[in-house]
Structure 1
Amino acid sequence: MENVLLVILLILALALIAVVLMQRSEGGGLGIGGGGGGGGVMSARGAATALGKLTWVLGIGLLAISLAMTIVSAQKSADSSVIDRVGEEATETAPVPAPAAPDVTDMMPPATGDAPVAPPRAD
């Protein structure tokens, strides 16, 4: 069932992308301008209305299929949780001891006395 819904969702998403790209630019939001040339099958206003309605239908279908997929997957995994499985794995294995603290005394510069350490000279 999930695979069928996923295929339908992908088809709707691709169709929605295609319909949105076919629509005529009205505001020139990116500064590109509108599609001013004629030569379309339908009139400019009729195409905008039909593509606008198709966009709404595909958008509502996309939302409905997404909700259906969420409901189906929630019903399928209602008996267990990911956190429950993590807790089971932790109790089944032996506890791992914490690593020992590293010896940082050999990483420190040698002490030269009470004088502060001066930066090296830039000769």
Structure 2
Amino acid sequence: MENVILIVHLLLALALIGIVLLQRSEGGGLGIGGGGAAAGRAPATPLGKVTWVLAIAFICTSLALTIVAAQKSAGSSVLDRIGNQPTAEEPADAAPALPSGDGLLPPAGGDDAPLVPRAD
């Protein structure tokens, strides 16, 4: 169910982006665009109505995804999951395990390491 809502949500987002880009600029944002009657409200165009419908549907799918995610969490917290991790019993004085093989550590002093250039 969550995947279906997510796919519909993504399709609505793409459609909303496309419809907004198709609309004519009404001006005001950057000081450019078609002028016109600044005092009254322009009549609703079909693209404007489609934009509103897509925006309402986008908000509804956003809320539905939030509800589905909240139900899946079942009241558990990330902190609850961290506390339930099994821990390995290691003595406190034991040294941390070093990576074996080709690790990122520099070679030991007795190894035949390549010479490092000096700035003399």
Q: Which stretches in structure 2 are left out of the alignment for 5+ residues?
A: 35-41, 93-120
Whichever of the two has the greater Rg, that structure is: 1
Q: Percent identity?
A: 62
Equivalent residues in 2 for 1:39-58 (5 A)?
49-58=45-54
* Matched length: 86
Equivalents in 2 of 1:21, 1:33: separation in Å? 14
Shift of 1:79: 4.7
Could you tell me which amino acid in structure 1 is paired with residue 11 of structure 2?
I
List structure 1 segments (4+ residues) > 2 angstroms apart after TM superposition: 28-34, 91-97
TM-score normalised by structure 2 residue count: 0.60
Q: Secondary structure at the match of 1:71?
A: helix
Equivalents in 2 of 1:78, 1:95: separation in Å? 33
Greater percentage in helix:
1
Could you tell me which amino acid in structure 1 is paired with residue 87 of structure 2?
E
Correspondence for 1:68 among 46, 64, 68:
64
Q: 1:92–1:11: structure 2 CA closer, same or farther, 3 Å change rule?
A: same
Equivalents in 2 of 1:33, 1:23: separation in Å? 12
Equivalent residues in 2 for 1:1-123 (5 A)?
1-27=1-27, 29-34=29-34, 49-89=45-85, 92-94=87-89
Q: 1:86–1:28: structure 2 CA closer, same or farther, 3 Å change rule?
A: same
Let me know the Cα RMSD of the aligned residues: 2.6
TM-score normalised by structure 1 residue count: 0.59
Q: Which stretches in structure 1 are left out of the alignment for 5+ residues?
A: 35-44, 98-123
Equivalents in 1 of 2:6, 2:91: separation in Å? 41
> Which string of whole-angstrom CA distances, capped at 9 and with x for unpartnered residues, describes residues 8-58 of structure 1?
000000000011001100115234534xxxxxxxxxx88x61111111110
Q: Secondary structure at the match of 1:19?
A: helix
